[in-house]
Homo-oligomer: A and B are copies of this chain.
Amino acid sequence: MKVGRRETFNSAHRLFHPDWSDEKNLEVFGKCSNPNYHGHNYVLETWVEGPIDPVTGFVIDLKLLKNLIRTEVTDKFDHRNLNLDIDEFKDLNPTAENIAKVAWELISVKLPTQMKLTVRLWETENNIVEYSGK
């Protein structure tokens, strides 16, 4: 049984490689490399897999999962600049892939070890990534 919770956060970011020239960054990352940043309403769907607890009927209490997602990820990232304000992206390009990987790592260490975690991140309504760990 899998249980999913949808949360959102609104952040600024830019994509670039610090060793590359502006021209090279523009060539590879296009308008996403605009030096003054742009931003997104990110949607983060967090899925946990495990057995149903026969007493509660829950895999995990969704209030707990909601609070965990907010504490570990969305409250930290929301209304922030991912490149400048978030430690994890100081040396890591905040692509949707890397944001999903960081979110997965921040949440998975707080979950009971037997629970399998998958995160799905919408950067726009057309661009989506999904990560389930190594």
Q: Which of A30, A66, A129 has the most CB of B within 10 A?
A: A129
Chain A contacts with B in 8-22, Cβ cutoff 8 A:
8, 10-13, 15, 17
Q: How far is the CA of A56 from the CA of B29 in the complex (A)?
A: 9
Instruction: Determine whether the beta carbon of B129 is less than 8 Å from that of A4.
Output: yes
* Contact residues of A: prevailing secondary structure: mixed
Chain B contacts of A5 at CB under 8 A? 126-128
A110 on the B face (CB < 8 A): no
A92 on the B face (CB < 8 A): yes
Q: Which of A47, A57, A100, A124 has the most CB of B within 10 A?
A: A57
Instruction: Determine whether the beta carbon of B95 is less than 8 Å from that of A58.
Output: yes
